[in-house]
Each structure stands twice: as structure tokens, then as C-alpha cells.
């Protein structure tokens, strides 16, 4: 690999929900570009780290638990202060508004939203010292689609966009950016229960007529977390083959 493709050399990236799916693909893509990777999940994602090799470590991190964030902060210092945080872990049960209960609502918010606040709380100070940092929040293109049973999820994913807009204002003067990324339907274990017909009915609405793969999401993450995106912040970038159009 030539040096031009080692765009993330010298950076340390933390990825949540990196045990499978989109998070695993993001962790592997960042490592390929030269980043040291802290791959985290409910259980330490050893398989992801085995795939990457010596430039990664696996740590357990339940993103809803503040004490876990604190513990990961302390352990991360062994491999280097975190420069890049990709909050990817997500919770997305389908519940119609009549079925939705408060524990499910709260778990959705804790997993999909509290995580972003907690990551900023624990990892901003080191980024500020270095005058460089990147936050990427994995939202969803579902915020713009008419999909029933997902009011809690859509609320949480819309809030990620809001948080990134607000965070962007507070950290800009320290060379730190905060952006949301909105994937479309992606081929992961989370969507495995959908029939091929159900998936087709989604991807047929895209300009690019195929199901997205986790690797389709990584390019935008690499761009937003690199130096080339230093002037892009507070944005919501859709990565869905051209299904959801805004503006
Ligand atoms: N797959 C899609 O079609 C799709 C589309 C748009 C957005 N997204 C978003 O992308 C992200 C990843 O989705 P995926 O399809 O790869 O999901 P996935 O279910 O395959 O993987 C999610 C990972 O998050 C982990 N996780 C769940 N709760 C956690 C917690 N409390 N703490 C730490 N880790 C936790 C899981 O263990 C799992 O490894 C999610 O935020 C999801 O909302 C997915």
C-alpha cells in the first residue's frame, strides 16, 4: 500500500458496535488507512481485531453505560488519545406506536443518542488539546422515509443530526468536526430477517439499484474523518444509493 492511501496514519479511532455489520466494516476501513483502532462492542469484538491485526484492540463498551465510557477512556490511553469517534452502535426494534413501551423508548434513546453525548464528554478534552478531532454519528436515511413502527428509532436518529449540528458549533474553534451519516438499507445481520422481496422493494427506490453493503458506508466515514473534510461540519450526509433526496 502506498503512503497516499495511509490517510489516517498517526490517528487513533474508536468505533462502537464494531463486532459486526457496518461498525466492523468501518473499523477495518479505518485500520486499512493506517489508523490505530479501538474496536468496541457489548462484548469485546475479538474477531474484528483478529481481522485487523496488531494495530487494533478490542474493548467491551456498552454505549448506554457512562462507567464503560470512562473505563474505555482510561484503557485507550495505552494506545493513544482518541482522535476519531465513530458512534455506530444502534438499537432498532420495530414497534408500532400502540406497542411501544417506555423501556423500549428509553433503551432506544440510551443506545442511539446518549452514546453521542457520552463520547463527547469523555473524548473531547484530548481532542481539544491536540486541536484536531472528528465525531461521526451513524444516523439513518429512515429519518426521511415513511416506514411504520419506527417512531422511537426515527426520533433518536433525527436527534443525532441535531446533536452533531449543535456539537459542531461548540468544538469548531479547536479543529474538531461533528457530522452525521445516514446509511440506507444495508446488508447486515440486523436486516437479515427481511425477505429478498422486502429488500428489493427498498433498493428499487434507489437510483443505484442494488442492496447496500457495509463496505458502501465506509468511504464517507473515511472522508469525514480525514484532513480533506476539515471544512465540513454540522452536516448530515446520506449514503443510500440515492433513495432519500434532500434540499
Ligand atoms: N443495516 C441497515 O440497514 C442500517 C441502515 C441505516 C442505519 N443503520 C445504522 O447503522 C448502525 C449499525 O447497524 P448494523 O446494521 O451494522 O447493525 P448490527 O445489529 O449488525 O450491529 C450493531 C452492533 O451494535 C452493537 N450494540 C447494540 N447495542 C449496543 C450497546 N448498547 N453498546 C454497544 N454496542 C451495542 C451490537 O452488539 C452489534 O454488534 C446502527 O446505528 C443502525 O441504526 C443501519
* Catalytic residue selected from 91, 122, 153, 244: 153
Burial category of 35 from C-beta neighbours within 10 Å (exposed 0-12, middle 13-18, buried 19 and up):
buried
Query: pLDDT means per 10 residues in the chain (247 residues)?
Result: 78 98 98 98 98 96 98 91 98 98 98 98 98 98 96 98 98 98 98 96 97 98 98 98 87
Nearest CA to ligand 1 atom 13: 22
115 lines ligand 1 (CB under 6 A): no
Q: Mark 49-76 as b/e (b = at least 16 C-beta within 10 Å).
A: beebeeebbbbebbbbeeebbeebbeeb
Mutate to test the pocket of ligand 1, among 14, 15, 17 (most ligand atoms within 8 A of CB): 17
21 lines ligand 1 (CB under 6 A): yes
* CA 189 to ligand 1: nearest atom: 20
* DSSP bridge pairs for 38: 14, 57
H/E run at residue 52: helix 46-52
Coil, helix or strand for 155?
helix
pTM of the full structure: 0.98
Give the model's pLDDT for residue 74.
96
Q: Domains of the chain, with CATH numbers?
A: 3-239 (3.40.50.720)
* DSSP bridge pairs for 15: 39, 86
What span, in angstroms and rounded, lies between the C-alpha atoms of 196 and 15? Answer: 29
Amino acid at each position: 500500500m502506498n503512503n497516499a492511501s495511509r490517510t489516517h496514519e498517526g490517528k487513533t479511532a474508536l468505533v462502537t458496535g464494531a463486532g459486526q455489520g457496518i461498525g466492523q466494516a468501518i473499523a477495518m476501513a479505518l485500520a486499512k488507512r493506517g489508523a490505530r483502532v479501538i474496536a468496541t462492542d457489548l462484548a469485546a469484538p475479538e474477531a474484528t481485531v483478529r481481522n485487523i491485526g496488531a494495530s487494533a484492540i478490542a474493548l467491551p463498551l456498552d454505549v448506554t453505560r457512562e462507567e464503560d465510557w470512562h473505563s474505555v477512556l482510561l484503557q485507550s490511553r495505552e494506545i493513544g488519545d482518541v482522535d476519531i469517534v465513530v458512534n455506530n452502535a444502534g438499537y432498532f426494534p420495530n414497534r408500532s406506536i400502540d406497542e411501544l413501551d417506555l423501556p423500549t423508548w428509553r433503551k432506544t434513546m440510551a443506545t442511539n443518542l446518549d452514546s453521542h453525548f457520552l463520547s463527547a464528554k469523555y473524548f473531547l478534552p484530548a481532542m481539544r488539546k491536540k486541536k484536531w478531532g472528528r465525531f461521526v454519528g451513524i444516523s439513518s436515511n429512515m429519518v426521511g422515509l415513511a416506514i411504520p413502527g419506527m417512531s422511537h428509532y426515527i426520533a433518536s436518529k433525527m436527534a443525532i443530526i441535531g446533536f452533531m449540528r449543535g456539537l459542531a458549533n461548540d468544538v469548531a474553534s479547536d479543529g474538531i468536526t461533528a457530522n452525521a451519516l445516514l446509511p440506507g438499507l444495508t446488508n447486515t445481520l440486523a436486516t437479515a430477517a427481511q425477505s429478498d422481496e422486502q429488500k428489493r422493494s427498498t433498493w428499487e427506490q434507489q437510483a443505484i439499484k442494488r442492496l447496500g453493503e457495509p463496505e458502501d458506508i465506509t468511504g464517507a466515514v473515511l472522508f469525514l474523518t480525514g484532513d480533506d473534510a476539515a471544512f465540513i461540519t454540522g452536516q448530515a450526509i446520506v449514503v443510500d444509493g440515492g433513495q432519500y433526496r434532500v434540499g
